[in-house]
Amino acid sequence: MPASYASRFDGISGSAIRDIFRLLTNPSIISFAGGNPASSALEPELISRLAQEALAENGVNILQYGQTEGYAPLRQSAAEFFRHNAVEARPDQVLPLVGSQQGLDLICKALINPGDAMLVESPAFLGALQTFKLYQARLVPIEMDEGGAIVEDIEKKIIAERPKLIYLIPTFQNPTGRTLALERRRRVARLANEYGVTLIEDDPYCDLRYRGEALPAIKSFDQGDNVLYLNSFSKIISPGLRVAAAVCTDEELMRKLIIGKQSTDVHSPTLNQAIIDKYLRSGLLEGHIKQICASYAAQMQKMQEMLEGFPKSVRFTRPDGGIFLWCELPKGFDATKLLPEATKRGVAYIPGDHFFALPGGHHNSLRLNFSNASLESIEKGMTLLKGLFVDQGL
């Protein structure tokens, strides 16, 4: 055993979530715990064909060392693709990543000293919280309502805490499914510009919209290069390929991200970037997204119908898209304590506690994922969940 570990690991156990995910390898448990796209939405034959084409056309380039800045054709096609979210960027402002998670790691590497403040939604994506904690950021929760993060609270905390970073998932947020309202997007961009704070806009779910009109990204309102935009191909093409991209219009910050990436993995695997590039240029993506949206919409609706059959004291979100619902039981219920019994009965979720930067007071909440469960499994799993909660006195 090494003499001592780095202090960034103090208080990091990583065990709770890892234990939950270990449970999910048990195929007899209906899992609403993950954040996986539907396995039926994955396209091994198409990906295989795109890989063959890429290697046939450009094989030596793909297999040789590449540039840290990324595979040039993908920088171009991704820049083009992001336009539909109103994100305007030149190819050299796009940095391909090994998943958006790498973007979170690199932006922290560039900016965060131990003790620096960061504003995070409350609740927030747990994988992001773990990254921020490993950089020993001081996490300051932002209040939310049905319209997403509350801008007045952001401004108050910018003034009080002088944060280095603000982290938001504005569209179909993980874990709540909530979407930041249009006017708030404009205002939060203005705050980032005015106070010179870097805002991370993490946007992996924006294309999974089942109703209502698409909203422009916060990045589209950025007048001062303060917004770092992250998007991922994990939810719409494949998470296993691990391809995402950052849009960074601040040149000096981009340079830091690239140096950080160089020292982290030299460059992203080129074959994977080439596959995604070919997919983006194939003209097939729009149809594929329509198809998965149709399925996910039905799955979300089924889960909400089932929740409507729970006692009225159970509250849940009604998102316009994404892959998650957020559920609140009456005070006194403890989703963490109930999880072992839930999995014993054959259903899993993630207790809400894990999504909060600061401990306490959220034991009665849970996150439910519907994208990787059939209508039948949703019916069965939600029936099991209702039975459990009712048996506990709901």
Report the site for a second copy in 351-380 (rule: CB under 8 A).
none
Q: Which neighbouring-strand residues pair with 149?
A: 144
- The CA–CA distances, whole Å, from 375 to 42, 145, 159, 167, 287 equal 18, 29, 47, 33, 22
Residues 331 to 350: which contact a second copy by CB under 8 A?
none
Residues 81 to 100: which contact a second copy by CB under 8 A?
98-99
Candidates 26, 52, 223, 313; binder of a second copy (CB under 8 A) is: 52
The answer to the question of residue 37 lying near a second copy (CB under 8 A) is: yes
Distance between CA atoms of 128 and 110, rounded to whole angstroms?
A: 16
Report the candidate in 391, 386, 388, 392 with the shortest Cα–Cα distance to residue 312.
Answer: 386
CA 256 vs. chain centroid, Å, equals 23
Contact between 157 and 163 under an 8 Å Cβ cutoff? The reply is: yes
**Cα pseudo-dihedral 106, 123, 317, 368, rounded to 10:** 70
The continuous run of DSSP H or E covering 185 comes out as helix 182-195
Distance between CA atoms of 390 and 394, rounded to whole angstroms?
A: 5
DSSP classification of residue 159: H
Q: Which residue has the tokens 């300051």?
A: 140
Interface segment toward a second copy; rule CB under 8 A; list 33-41, 151-159, 202-210, 277-285: 33-41
The answer to the question of residue 101 lying near a second copy (CB under 8 A) is: yes
Residues 108 to 147: which contact a second copy by CB under 8 A?
108-113, 127, 130-131, 134
Closer to a second copy by Cβ: residue 234 or 365: 234
Residues 181 to 210: which contact a second copy by CB under 8 A?
196-198
Candidates 27, 56, 152, 359; binder of a second copy (CB under 8 A) is: 56
Structure tokens, 350: 């993630």
The answer to the question of residue 55 lying near a second copy (CB under 8 A) is: yes
Residues 216 to 255: which contact a second copy by CB under 8 A?
225-226, 234, 238-242, 250, 252-253, 255
Candidates 9, 223, 330, 390; binder of a second copy (CB under 8 A) is: 9
Closer to a second copy by Cβ: residue 5 or 145: 5
CB of 133 to a second copy, least distance (A): 8
CB of 232 to a second copy, least distance (A): 11
Closer to a second copy by Cβ: residue 112 or 139: 112
Report the candidate in 118, 128, 127, 122 with the shortest Cα–Cα distance to residue 165.
Answer: 118
Distance between CA atoms of 27 and 107, rounded to whole angstroms?
A: 37
What is the size of the binding site for a second copy (CB under 8 A)?
82
CB of 226 to a second copy, least distance (A): 8
CB of 89 to a second copy, least distance (A): 17
Candidates 75, 105, 149, 296; binder of a second copy (CB under 8 A) is: 105
Q: Which residue has the tokens 């156990």?
A: 13
Structure tokens, 361: 């007071």
Candidates 263, 291, 308, 337; binder of a second copy (CB under 8 A) is: 263
CB of 287 to a second copy, least distance (A): 18
Structure tokens, 29: 């448990």
Closer to a second copy by Cβ: residue 165 or 306: 165
Residues 289 to 328: which contact a second copy by CB under 8 A?
none
Distance between CA atoms of 55 and 57, rounded to whole angstroms?
A: 6
